[in-house]
Amino acid sequence: QKEVEQNSGPLSVPEGAIASLNCTYSDRGSQSFFWYRQYSGKSPELIMFIYSNGDKEDGRFTAQLNKASQYVSLLIRDSQPSDSATYLCAFSRSYIPTFGRGTSLIVHP
């Protein structure tokens, strides 16, 4: 079983819609969870992090964590073409992060 599972996509949504990205993880000892965005040919940049169960909102982004079910999701409201990128889910138990393969998101006008 892979440590972090993400649907590779691509996930295609129209501009203005809500994009929903999901991630499951296998390590119940995971303490912190992160969503990174990676544009083609660039390194990842942090979008959000979440430690506690529930929702965390930051602008158009909402991260949702459910430790009992071992999943974390990212919602992007009012999706824009500039949101088109690969979104990497990551978790860490100690200080070493583990990354999923990423979900490719395409926002079309």
Partner 1 sequence: GAVVSQHPSRVICKSGTSVKIECRSLDFQATTMFWYRQFPKQSLMLMATSNEGSKATYEQGVEKDKFLINHASLTLSTLTVTSAHPEDSSFYICSAPTAGGNPYNEQFFGPGTRLTVL
Q: Record the tokens describing residue 98, joined without a space.
A: 């583990």
The DSSP result for 33-61, as a single string, is: EEEEEE-TTS--EEEEEE-SSEEEEETTE
Q: If you count DSSP H runs as helices and E runs as strands, how many of each does the chain have, helices first?
A: 0, 11
- What whole-number distance in Å separates Cα of residue 109 and Cα of residue 59? 21
**4-43 footprint of partner 1 as x/- string (CB under 8 A):** ---------------------------xx-x------xxx
Is 62 or 86 the residue whose CB approaches partner 1 more closely? 86
98 sits near partner 1 (criterion: CB under 8 A): yes
For residue 104, give the amino acid letter: S
Cβ of residue 32: shortest distance to partner 1, in angstroms?
5
Binding residue for partner 1 (CB under 8 A) from 102, 105, 107, 109?
A: 102
- Contacts to partner 1 by CB under 8 A: 31-32, 34, 41-46, 49, 51, 88, 90, 92-102
